[in-house]
Structure 1
Amino acid sequence: MPSDSPQHSVPLPPVFQPLLPDDPREVGGYRLFARLGSGGMGRVYLSYTPGGRPVAVKVVRPEFAEDGEFRRRFAQEVSSAQRIHGLYTAQVIDSGGLDSGAPWLVTSYVPGPSLQQVVREHGALPVRTVLLLVGGIAEALQAIHSVAVVHRDLKPANVLVAADGPRVIDFGIARAADATALTGTGYRIGSPAFMSPEQAQGGPITPATDVFALGSLTAYVAGGAPPFGDGPDSAVLYRVVHEEPDLGGVPPALRELVARCLAKAPQDRPTPPELIRAAREHPVVGGQLRFGEDWLPGRVNTEITRRADLPRTPPTPLPVPEAAPVPTVVPVPTMPSAPPLVPAPVPAPAPAPAPAREEPHPAPRGGVSWRTLLVVVLVALLAGTAGGLALMRGLQKDDGGASGQAGPTASGTRDGANAGGGDRVPSSPPPSATRPGASASPRESAPAGGYVAVYENRELSSPSSDYGFDLPNGRVAPSGTPATFVDPTADGLRLDTDFDAYIGRSDPLTAQQCADGIDRSPAARLGWEDLPDGRVFCARNRKDRSIAVVRVVSHDTGSAAVRLSIGYYRHGG
C-alpha cells in the first residue's frame, strides 16, 4: 500500500498507552506516567516537571548508546538543540543518561497529533492550512539553522500539530544516529520518501536539505501521497535523485511553491525566509499568517482535544508478590519435663485428651520436649505461627518423634475442630506460608499477553508482486491499494511504514514474544535472505498495536510469488 495513504477503517488508538513491564518507571528523576509512542530511535513517555508542566521524555535505544561516536554526537547535538528557541519547535529542556548506557532527552509536550497521523486518519489538508504549515515550519527551520544545526529527518512524523501551529521535533538527533556503526547494519537514518538527492547520494548536508524535505512534506499533506511515490527504498531514492516529483495530487495553487522546494540542485531551492514570505503573500491567506481557531479542520481539532486531556495519576505499579500475613500467635500450653527416655518398645498411641482441659501426665515418648516448645514459643512470637510450625516440625523429627504418635501438636492446639486428626502434619503448607510468587491457581489473564486472536494460521497466496496481503482482514488484495500492508517483491517483503517488524528464530512465535522482539531488536527490512521457507516474522501496527504473526510457507524470487500463513491479534481485545 502507499506508505502514507490515509486510513479510515482503523479505530483510533489510545493516546496515552500504559507502561509495559519492561518500561522504566523513572528516567533521570522524571516519573513516567504513560507511553506516548516508539520508533527507530527509542521510546517516548509522558512526564511532568516539578512545577507540573507536561513534558515528553525520549529514551534512546541501547543499541545506539553502546556506540562511542553516537554518545559524543548525541551530547553535542543536544547541547546545540537546547540553544534553539523557536516558537514552532518543541523546546529541548533536559538530557542525560550517557554514562548509564540509556541516553534520554526531555522536550516540552505538544498536545497534538503528528502530520503523518493527521493525513492517515483524515486525508489531505486544505490549501490555507497547508500554507500556514509551510510558514510555521519554515520559521522553525530558520531557528534551527541559526545555531548551525540541520534537521536531516524532517518528515510528517516529526511535525506535531497544536492548536496554535505546528511544532518541529527531533531536530539534529538524526546526525548523532547517523554516526553510529548501526547505520551500516540495517538501521536507516532518515526516511527515503522525504530525503534530498544529496542525502541519498551521501553528499554534503546543508540547510537546503531541510528545504527539500519540507517540499516533500508539503506535497504529502496537500495531496495525500509522497511526491516520489512508494516502494522499496532503493526505488524511491532513485526517483528522488533522477526523476521529477509527481505533483498531480497537489492543488494547482501550491504546485509552484512545492516544485521550487524540490529542485534537484540545493542552490536552486528557496530559503526559509523566502518560503515564509511566499506563504504570507499567497492570496488564499490574505496577506497574513495567523493561527486562529479555524486554521485546522474541525476533525483534527478533536485529535488535539484528546491529547490535551492528560493523565495526572501515576501508573499502577507492577504487581508484587504479597507477603504472607502474620497470623495471630496462639500460646502453646506449658508441659512438664519429659521423663528420661528408656530403651523399650514404643507403646500404642494413647487416646487424645479432651480439648477442654489438659491432663498432668507426662508427654508420650516421641512427643515434643519442653526445650523444643520453648524454642517454638519464642519463634512464634517473633515470626508468627507459620514460622514456628515449620521449625517445630523440624525439631520434632530431630527429637525422634514418630509422625503417627498421639500428643498435642501445633495444628491440634490451634484448631480444635481437627480433634480426630489434628496431629497429622499437612502435606503442603497453608496459603499464608506459600513462598512469594507461588499460586495454586494462576490468575486468568488475556490470551497471549493481552492480545486476542482475530484469526490464526490462515494461509494466503500472492501470485506476483501485483498482489499484497491485507493483514487485518486476512485476504489478498491488489498491491498499491490502501488495503495491503505487506507486498511481495523480488528482494523480499515490503512492509507498510506504519508497521515495525521482528524476525523470529523460533516457531511458533506468540504475539507477546513478537511485541518484545520488536522493542528489543526491530528488523530494518524483510529480505528473502533472512526469510527462508519456514521462517516466522511478525509485524506490529504503531497505531493500534495489533500484531500479525507470519510464517513463510513458500516463495519464488523470480515471480515474487509467495504463500504465507498468518495469524492476526488485536491488542487489548
Structure 2
Amino acid sequence: MVNSVDPSGVFQPLEGDDPQVIAGYRLRAKLGAGGMGKVYLSYTPGGRPVAIKVIRPEFSEDAEFRRRFKQEVQSAQRVQGLFTAPVIDSDAEGASPWLATAYVPGPSLSAAVAEHGRLPVSTVLLLVAGIAEALQVIHGAGIVHRDLKPSNVLLAADGPRVIDFGIARAADATSLTSSGVTVGTPTFMAPEQAAGSTITPATDIFALGQVAAYAAIGSPAFGEGTSHGVLYRIVHEEPELTGLPDELRELVTRCLTKDAAERPTVAEVIALCGAASGQTQLRRPEEWLPTAVAADITTRTAAPAPAPTPPPPLAAPTAGPPAQPPTQPAGPPVAPVPTALNHPQTPPPGFGPAYAPTVTGAAPLTPTAGGAGATGPIPVAAPQPPKKKRTGLVMALVLVGLLVFAGAGGGAVYYFMKDSGQKKSNQADDKKKTTDATPDSGGDASASPGAEGNGPAPAKDPEPVDFKGINLPDEYHLSMADEPVAPSNADNNSDIDFAYEDFDYSDDQVSTQTGKLVQLNPGQQGSLDTCRAETRFTETILTKRLAKGAQMCLTTNYGHVALITVKGYSPDDDSSHYMTVDVRVWRNAVEPEETS
C-alpha cells in the first residue's frame, strides 16, 4: 500500500477503504474527492501520469446513471482541445464506474485563490480566454459542461485546463436527483439551472462569468451560505462585484446577464478578453501565473514515481536437477501482476488499438495488499482474429511425416501411402453410395447439390418482417433481434442497433452502436439487394437530413439487415420527444461480423 507521500499534502496516502487497483491501473496516491467521487493518481504502461476518478457508490447503484455516464464519457472522448484534460480511458460497466484523464500537475483555481488570494488582471484575462477556448471545443462536441466552477479548472504552466465536462449530465436523471435536486454547485449555477429550465451553452457562459469574478475578487459573486439562499440571489438579485477591477467589469457583467439569450458567445468572450488586455490577440507569456502559484505547479510535478514492476520468473532449465526457488529478499509482499484486464478500455489518441484491448471472460480483478508495487494497466496481447484453415501448414506437416517415415525405411512409406490410398478409395465408395441413395436423383450424381461441377444450392433470401409506426422516444433504441422490434432503454440489452437522441443543445441524431447505417438517396429502391450493395457507412445521421419518407439501411454486426423509413416526429406541443419509423427486417441476411 502507498502510504508515503510528500509533506506538502498534495498527494494523500491511500487508506483502508481506497482501492489498490482499478481495472489494471495501480494507484499511487489520492488526489482529492468531490461530489461525484474520489480521484487517484496512476500511470500508463509508458509511465505517463493519469488521474482516475471513481464514481461514488450512490450513483453506481443507479442503472440510469450508468447509461448516461457511458454516453457522456463517449462524447467527452471526442473533446481534444489545448485547454482540456482529455479522457483516455473509462468503464461504465464495472462495480464502480470510473474514467481516466491526463494528469495536470497544477492546483485547481479554487485551491490557488484560497491559498494565495485573488489573481492579477492579466492572469484573469488569460485564464478566462483559455477557459473560453475550452468551452468552444466542448460545445462543438455537443456537450454542455453544466458544472463549470473553480475546482474544475486546473492551472498548468501553459494555461488552464477544464475537467469533468458533461459528467454532471449523467446524474441529472438518476433517482438521487429525480426528486427535484439539481446537479451542480449552487454557488456557480446559472439562473436557468436553479429554476430547472432548459440548459444551453449559454449556461456555461454564466458560470464562466462567476469563475472570472471569483478569480479577480477572491469570493463568489453571489455570496456564500445555504444553497437555497445562494440560488435565490442568483435568480432574483444582482451580483456583488465590489472590488472587481474596471478592466474586467464589462466582461463579467455581460456573462452574468440573467437572460441567457443576452449573454455573449464564446467567441465574443475571447474578443472581450483581448480588448480588455489592450491587444487584438492575447499572447500567453512563459510565466502567466503569479510566482507563488507557479511554485505549486513545481511541487505537483514531483508526483510519486511509479514503482518498478517485478521481473518475470526465470525460465525452468531443460536439463539437470530441479531448479531451486530463488530466495526472496526481505520486504513487503508484491501483488501478483494480473494477466488480463476485465474492462473494455479506450486507447488515448495515437496509442492504437493494441494499447488496451478488451478481454472478455476475465475474472474481476481483486485488490491485493501491496498492490501498488506495479503501475499502470498491465499490457496484454491484442485479441487475434479468428484463425483461418492452415492448409499450407498441414501439407508441410505431412511432408515432414513422409520424410521421417522414409528415414525409418521404405516399408513405412509404402504403408503410409497405401493406407492413404485405401482411405480415399473408401471415401469415394461412400460418396457414390450416398449419391445413388439420394431420392429423386435417378442415380445421376450430377443431379445432387454439391456434386462435382455444381456449386451448393443458393440459399433463399430470408422473408422480411414488418413493424409499422414505431414511436421511438429520445434516448431509446431498437434491437433488430427482438420480437417484436420495440423501443427499449434496458441496460442489459447490448444490441443498440438504432437509437434516437434529441439533444437540448445540438442537432438531434440517430445512431448505431452495433451496426452501420446508410442513408439512401432519393430515388433509390429500399430493398434487401440495395442494402447489401451499399457501402456508404456511418454510425450517426443528423435528423435534420431525415425528412418524412427518408429511408436508411441498417446492417447489424449479427447479420440482420433493416430498412428504416422515417414517418415523422413528435409535435412541438407534445410532452414527449420521439420519432416515428417503419422498420422492415431481414434477419440473418448477411454474414455476421466475426468478433473475438
Please, what TM-score do these two structures have when normalized by structure 2? 0.50
* C-alpha deviation, 1:282, in angstroms: 2.2
Spell out the pairing of 1:113-512 with structure 2 (5 A cutoff). 113-183=107-177, 189-284=183-278, 286-314=279-307
Establish whether residue 75 from structure 1 lines up as the match of residue 65 from structure 2. no
* C-alpha deviation, 1:248, in angstroms: 1.0
Q: Partner letter of residue 47 of structure 2?
A: G
- Is residue 154–residue 214 contact of structure 1 (8 Å, CA) maintained in 2? yes
Q: Distance in 1 between matches of 2:239 and 2:203?
A: 16
Q: Deviations over 1:438-459 (max 9, x none)?
A: xxxxxxxxxxxxxxxxxxxxxx
Distance 1:312 1:185, change over 3 A: farther
Distance 1:171 1:41, change over 3 A: same
Q: Distance in 2 between matches of 1:185 and 1:243?
A: 26
* C-alpha deviation, 1:246, in angstroms: 1.0
Quote the RMSD (CA, aligned, Å): 2.3
Q: Distance in 1 between matches of 2:301 and 2:92?
A: 29
- Is residue 248–residue 276 contact of structure 2 (8 Å, CA) maintained in 1? no
Q: Deviations over 1:226-263 (max 9, x none)?
A: 11111111111011001111111211111111000000
Q: Distance in 2 between matches of 1:315 and 1:243?
A: 57
Q: Does the residue aligned with 2:298 lie in a helix, a strand or coil?
A: helix
Distance 1:28 1:246, change over 3 A: same
* C-alpha deviation, 1:122, in angstroms: 0.6
Q: Deviations over 1:17-46 (max 9, x none)?
A: 111122111112111111111111111111
Q: Does the residue aligned with 1:18 lie in a helix, a strand or coil?
A: coil
Q: Distance in 2 between matches of 1:146 and 1:104?
A: 24
Q: Distance in 2 between matches of 1:167 and 1:313?
A: 24
Q: Distance in 2 between matches of 1:92 and 1:321?
A: 33
Establish whether residue 64 from structure 1 lines up as the match of residue 70 from structure 2. no
Q: Which runs of 5+ in 2 are unaligned?
A: 1-5, 310-330, 335-596
Q: Does the residue aligned with 1:178 lie in a helix, a strand or coil?
A: coil
Q: Which residue of 1 aligns with 2:13?
A: 18
- Is residue 18–residue 315 contact of structure 1 (8 Å, CA) maintained in 2? no
Q: Partner letter of residue 96 of structure 2?
A: A
Q: 1:88 aligns with which of 49, 62, 83?
A: 83
- Is residue 34–residue 315 contact of structure 1 (8 Å, CA) maintained in 2? no
Identity %: 63
Deviates more, 1:228-237 or 1:156-165: 228-237
* C-alpha deviation, 1:184, in angstroms: 5.1
- Is residue 27–residue 40 contact of structure 2 (8 Å, CA) maintained in 1? yes
- Is residue 47–residue 306 contact of structure 2 (8 Å, CA) maintained in 1? no
Q: Deviations over 1:321-341 (max 9, x none)?
A: 99xxxxxxxxxxxxxxxxxxx
Q: Partner letter of residue 165 of structure 1?
A: G
- Is residue 85–residue 91 contact of structure 1 (8 Å, CA) maintained in 2? yes
Distance 1:12 1:313, change over 3 A: closer
Q: 2:101 aligns with which of 87, 102, 107?
A: 107
Q: Distance in 2 between matches of 1:87 and 1:221?
A: 21
Q: Partner letter of residue 275 of structure 2?
A: E
Q: Deviations over 1:68-104 (max 9, x none)?
A: 1101100000000000011100000010142x22001
Q: Which runs of 5+ in 1 are unaligned?
A: 1-10, 323-573
Q: Does the residue aligned with 2:144 lie in a helix, a strand or coil?
A: coil
Q: Partner letter of residue 294 of structure 1?
A: E
Q: Does the residue aligned with 1:35 lie in a helix, a strand or coil?
A: strand
Distance 1:168 1:283, change over 3 A: closer
Q: Which residue of 1 aligns with 2:364?
A: none
Q: Which residue of 1 aligns with 2:401?
A: none
Runs of 4+ in 1 over 6 A off after TM superposition: 319-322
- Is residue 14–residue 29 contact of structure 2 (8 Å, CA) maintained in 1? yes
* C-alpha deviation, 1:12, in angstroms: 8.5
Q: Deviations over 1:156-207 (max 9, x none)?
A: 0000000000000000000001221112579752111110000000000000
Q: Does the residue aligned with 1:44 lie in a helix, a strand or coil?
A: strand
Count of residue pairs the alignment pairs up: 309
Q: Partner letter of residue 153 of structure 2?
A: V
Q: Which residue of 2 aligns with 1:43?
A: 38
Q: Does the residue aligned with 2:47 lie in a helix, a strand or coil?
A: coil
Q: Does the residue aligned with 1:225 lie in a helix, a strand or coil?
A: coil
* C-alpha deviation, 1:125, in angstroms: 0.4
Q: Partner letter of residue 60 of structure 1?
A: I
Please, what TM-score do these two structures have when normalized by structure 1? 0.52
Q: Distance in 2 between matches of 1:204 and 1:19?
A: 40
